[in-house]
Amino acid sequence: MKKTFLIVVAFICFITLSVAFTHEPPEYKNLKILPKDISKEALDSIMHHYSRSLGVKCGFCHVHNEELKTWDMANDAKPEKQIARKMMLMEKGINTTYFPAEEGDKNVHVIQAVTCYTCHKGEAMPVSFPEMKTDSLSKK
């Protein structure tokens, strides 16, 4: 009886420890561009970069379920999230085409020369033309 009890206790300890020390990658449900096994740290840092670059909060691209009071980050209902995906592909395209790493540099394949912030500078709608002052064309 005592022996069985000890075996059961040992078994429970073993399960608890193996759960505690197994770092399963978090399960994101709807990643179409980012790697599916991305770590939580990496995903969080990318999302904070997007928010800061555009000067917005998570809810600009993500759906908040008001009834359940929870975020539904995997939901694609907001058009801003879809636009963001296109922007991610554009950014990747610009960097791989125009900013490849030096030949022989095995650690870096692409330099992150252009990021969301390069264009957005903290605004959701980037400014594409300089402000025109009436006297800006006068040569002093």
Q: Which residues bind ligand HEC (CB under 6 A)?
A: 28-34, 43, 47-48, 50-51, 54, 56, 58, 60-62, 73-74, 80-81, 83-85, 87-88, 91, 114, 116, 118-120, 124-126, 128
Tokens 């950014």 belong to which residue? Answer: 91
Distance, in Å, from the CA atom of 46 to the CA atom of 9, rounded to the nearest integer, reads 43
Burial class (CB in 10 A: 0-12, 13-18, 19+), 16: exposed
CB of 57 to ligand HEC, least distance (A): 6
Distance, in Å, from the CA atom of 76 to the CA atom of 74, rounded to the nearest integer, reads 6
For ligand HEC, the closer of residues 84 and 111 by Cβ is: 84
**Considering only CA atoms, which of 42, 54, 39, 38 is closest in space to residue 115?**
54
For ligand HEC, the closer of residues 8 and 36 by Cβ is: 36
CB of 101 to ligand HEC, least distance (A): 19
For ligand HEC, the closer of residues 73 and 111 by Cβ is: 73
Distance, in Å, from the CA atom of 49 to the CA atom of 42, rounded to the nearest integer, reads 11
For ligand HEC, the closer of residues 47 and 101 by Cβ is: 47
